Each structure stands twice: as structure tokens, then as C-alpha cells.
């Protein structure tokens, strides 16, 4: 039996690592997700083999425990299947945040049970269990706050005075109670104090964060969940949990650092700088927005030789990715060179725009990243922005008082002509005015992105038919 369990762990480890490797490319990501899912299925089913080794007093509780495990699996699989079938792509970041939180909560629950039931293990295992419990609690409460922000339940960052001091005191209590645990266990009151302040710390750290930093927060919570699961895998002496947690934690940590670097900010600056605080000074943006009709914008696009599309969250909200790709193919038929420019933090979670465009069937060679595409904007006839704002804001280059100053952006303002499709005149997710919209080479096309793109396609069809 031991050999079979170890073999299942080995198969699971291979499937998780190989699946993650395939997720690194949009072309193989789908099969990578399936392989990783099969790995989780294998290790979940294999865990039931432990029932054959149960002995002593535990055997008397075996029927009830099996019933509870089966019920938990049934509820978990049923809910995730039902929800996964129905969740719209615009709500995917919220779903990812919730799943991150559930992973962190599971790791924290394992830590709590182990600390209460087996306080006489080695100090190393106790320390790892405590660290996993703290990180898992932090990830759970932080992910729930991220979910509430993305869902619109919390619309404004919460930044009271002396928040950083309060965070420091909460962290101090959590660390002190965790440090005292090896000498005082089993102690339910101490455990309650430790987990309460760990949860509170995760919530307090996430509440002030807003704007374009949210994708980084989700990535960080994902990394923390992986690390916590890896720690608890060590405590349980479960190789599959250790490997899965380590892989997720390492991948999430690298992604978090890369995204922070893409914003030209440190992780500490993102977590503790109150990004987007209204108290920060920024120069007044003056000028007038210049609307243009959909037909006139379509006419310019029809005769353009080089076009770059810049998708943002508005594209996802309007479910317009398919129409945008149809427009790209139509312009290519007219001889235009068309590309899609992707900013690393576009949307509300890592890779949000890549997923949308992949769903629409956009070839990967048409999708270009920030560093490669920026040098092409000065030679671009038309840059068409669909629902993006902060990632094209030139204030990030020029306005030292702007909260987004220093963040690399797509140099859309350097294109010969810019069209921006927007529902209205509101600010971006970071709450910062965008001087690009007032520039001489920029015109605003107001309306729902999908309807605007449909009208553009119709206008181009009619225009080409006249010749």
C-alpha cells in the first residue's frame, strides 16, 4: 500500500510540474490545466487509500470521517463545476481571488488542527506549522478583501490615519503569540489569538490597496497560498502537497515580482504606499475631449496601413473580444498590418487580456508585449484603445505628482491618430485623469465597445462596397 501511495505522489508531482510548464505558453495552456487537474484528481483519490492503514481508536471514527470527506468532495466539486460553467470572463479575477482564499483557509485549518492535536512534535515542524498557519490566514482574509474590491462591494480604499502603526501592532501580536506557542501548547485561547490577529493583518494590509495594484495583490495571495500549502504538506509529511505548494508558491512569487517590476515599483511600495491616495499632488489636466462618430473613425481605420489595438478591462466588460478580432481580420483583408498590444497589468488579474484574446481565437503572433510594441507606435497610423485607461496614461512618464508616475505604459500617445472607445468620461481604475484623452491626436468614440465595433465593421463593409 505504501508503494502505491508513493507512486501516486510521484505521478501527481510529474503532472503538476509538467502541467505548469505547459501553462507558460498560451498555445499549450489549456492542456496544461487539464494535466494539472488530473494530477489533483489522482492525489485526491489516492488519499482514500489511507483508510487501510487506520488503526486503534481512529478506526471507530472511520465511517463518520469517510462520510464527511465524501460530503465535502461532493459539495466542493458540485459548487465549483456549477460556478465554473457560469462565471463570465469579466468575473474571473473575483473567482481566482476566492479560490486563493479557500486554499489559504485550508492550509490554516490544517495548521490549527495539527497544533492542537499534536503539540509534542519537533520544534522545526511546530515552527513550519505556525508559519503556514500565519501565511494561510493572511492569504485567506487578504483574498476575501480583494474579492470584495473586484466585485464592487468595497468601492474605495480604506486609509485611516495611523494605519501603518496599527498594522505593525497587529503583526506584533500575531508574531508574539506564534512565538509563544511551542512552550504553551496545547492552548486553544492562544491559538484563537494567533489566528484572529493573522486574519486581521491580512485584511488590514489589503484594505488600503486599490487601483491598478489589484492584479499584483491577487498574484501575491496566490503565492502565499502555495507557500502555506507547501508548509502544511511538510507538517503532514505529504509529498504531493509539498510539491504542489512549492510549485504554486514559486510561480506566484516570480509572477508577483515580474508584475511589480512591470509597474516600476517594489512590492513594499505596492503594499505600504497607499497608491492612488487623493492626498498625493498631481497637476491639473486641462483641455476638451473631442468626440468623433463611429463612421468617421471606421473610415480612417479602413485606409490605415498600420493599426495597433490596445485592449483593457472595458473590452472584457463589453464581451467585445470576438468583434475586435473580426475587425482586425477585416482590416488585414484591406492590407493593414494589425497587432494587439498587451500591458502586463491590463485587466484585473495576471494574463487577463491574453485569456480574452485567446478565447476569441487571436493568433499568438499578433499579440505583442509592452517592451516590443512601444517602438512601433511612432510609425502607427491608428491606435485603437478599447476600454483601457491607466496603462496608456502619459502622466506616468511626465507627472511626478501623479500616483502612477514611473509605471511603464503603452506609448499610445505617439501614434499618428488615437481612437479611444469608452462608455463615458470617467477616470480609470486608479482614479487618475488621463491627459491623452485631451491630446490633439486623440478622439473619443463613446458607447458600448461591442456595439461600437459592430458599427465599425458595418461602416467599413459599406465603405469598401462603394469602391
**Residue from 9, 390, 411, 413 carrying the catalytic annotation:** 390
Where would I find the H helices in 87-157? 92-117, 123-151
Calculate helix-pair angle for 352-360, 92-117, nearest 10 degrees: 130
Whether 143 contacts 101, CB under 8 Å: yes
* Closest by CA position to 383, among listed 310, 436, 460: 310
C-alpha cell at 243: 510539491
Supply the DSSP string of 172-238, one letter for each residue.
HHHHHHHHHHHHH-S-HHHHHHHHHHHHHHHHHHHTT--GGGHHHHHHHHHHHHHHHHHHHHHHHT-
Q: Which helix (H) or strand (E) holds 35?
A: helix 29-46
Phi then psi for residue 386, to 5 deg, are -120, 95
How far, in Å, CA of 325 to CA of 453, rounded? Answer: 10
Q: Residue 245 class from Cβ within 10 Å (0-12 exposed, 13-18 middle, 19+ buried)?
A: buried
How far, in Å, CA of 16 to CA of 37, rounded? Answer: 8
**3-class DSSP state for residue 342?**
strand
Q: Determine the longest span between alpha carbons in the chain, in angstroms.
A: 87
How far, in Å, CA of 433 to CA of 227, rounded? Answer: 38
Beta bridge partners of 368: 341
Distances (CA, A) of 61 to 49, 74, 304, 385, 436: 16, 20, 73, 61, 67
- Is residue 354 part of the annotated active site? The answer reads no
Residue with cell 505583442: 368
How far, in Å, CA of 364 to CA of 353, rounded? Answer: 12
How far, in Å, CA of 381 to CA of 406, rounded? Answer: 27
How far, in Å, CA of 38 to CA of 144, rounded? Answer: 27
Whether 291 contacts 446, CB under 8 Å: yes
Active-site amino acid positions: 390
Amino acid at each position: 500500500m505504501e508503494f502505491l501511495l508513493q507512486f501516486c505522489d510521484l505521478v501527481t508531482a510529474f503532472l503538476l510540474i509538467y502541467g505548469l510548464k505547459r501553462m507558460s505558453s498560451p498555445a499549450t495552456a489549456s492542456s496544461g490545466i487539464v494535466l494539472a487537474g488530473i494530477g489533483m484528481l489522482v492525489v485526491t483519490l489516492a488519499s482514500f487509500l489511507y483508510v487501510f492503514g487506520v488503526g486503534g481508536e481512529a478506526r471507530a471514527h472511520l465511517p463518520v470521517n469517510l462520510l464527511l470527506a465524501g460530503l465535502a468532495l461532493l459539495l466542493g466539486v458540485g459548487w465549483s463545476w456549477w460556478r465554473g460553467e457560469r462565471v463570465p470572463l469579466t468575473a474571473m479575477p473575483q473567482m481566482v481571488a476566492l479560490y486563493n482564499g479557500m486554499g489559504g483557509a485550508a492550509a490554516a485549518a490544517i495548521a490549527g488542527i495539527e497544533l492542537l492535536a499534536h503539540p509534542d512534535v519537533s520544534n522545526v515542524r511546530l515552527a513550519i506549522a505556525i508559519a503556514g498557519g500565519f501565511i494561510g490566514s493572511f492569504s485567506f482574509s487578504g483574498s476575501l478583501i480583494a474579492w470584495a474590491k473586484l466585485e464592487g462591494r468595497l468601492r474605495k480604499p480604506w486609509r485611516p490615519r495611523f494605519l501603518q502603526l496599527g498594522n505593525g501592532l497587529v503583526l506584533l501580536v500575531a508574531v508574539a503569540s506564534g512565538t509563544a506557542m511551542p512552550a504553551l501548547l496545547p492552548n486553544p485561547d492562544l491559538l484563537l489569538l494567533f489566528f484572529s490577529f493573522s486574519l486581521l493583518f491580512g485584511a488590514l494590509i489589503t484594505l488600503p490597496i486599490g487601483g491598478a495594484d489589484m492584479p499584483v495583490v491577487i498574484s501575491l495571495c496566490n503565492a502565499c497560498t502555495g507557500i502555506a500549502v507547501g508548509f502544511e504538506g511538510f507538517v503532514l509529511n505529504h509529498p504531493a502537497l509539498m510539491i504542489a505548494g512549492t510549485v504554486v508558491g514559486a510561480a506566484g512569487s516570480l509572477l508577483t515580482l515580474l508584475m511589480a517590476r512591470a509597474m516600476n515599483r517594489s512590492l513594499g511600495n505596492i503594499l505600504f504606499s497607499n497608491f492612488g491616495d487623493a492626498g498625493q499632488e498631481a497637476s491639473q489636466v486641462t483641455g476638451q475631449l473631442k468626440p468623433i462618430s463611429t463612421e468617421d473613425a471606421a473610415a480612417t481605420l479602413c485606409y490605415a496601413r498600420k493599426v495597433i489595438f490596445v485592449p483593457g478591462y472595458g473590452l472584457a466588460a463589453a464581451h467585445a473580444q470576438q468583434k475586435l478580432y473580426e475587425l482586425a481580420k477585416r482590416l488585414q483583408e484591406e492590407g493593414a498590418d494589425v497587432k494587439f498590444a498587451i500591458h502586463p497589468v491590463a485587466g484585473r488579474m495576471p494574463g487577463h487580456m491574453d485569456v480574452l484574446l485567446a478565447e476569441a481565437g487571436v493568433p499568438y503572433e499578433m499579440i505583442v508585449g509592452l517592451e516590443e510594441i512601444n517602438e512601433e507606435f511612432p510609425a502607427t497610423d491608428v491606435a485603437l484603445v478599447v476600454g483601457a485607461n491607466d496603462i496608456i496614461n502619459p502622466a506616468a512618464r511626465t507627472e511626478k505628482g501623479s500616483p502612477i508616475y514611473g509605471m511603464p505604459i503603452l506609448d499610445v500617445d505617439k501614434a499618428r491618430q488615437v481612437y479611444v472607445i469608452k462608455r463615458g468620461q470617467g477616470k480609470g481604475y486608479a482614479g487618475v485623469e488621463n491627459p491623452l484623452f485631451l491630446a490633439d491626436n486623440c478622439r473619443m468614440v463613446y458607447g458600448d465597445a461591442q456595439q461600437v465595433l459592430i458599427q465599425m465593421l458595418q461602416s467599413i463593409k459599406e465603405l469598401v462596397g462603394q469602391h
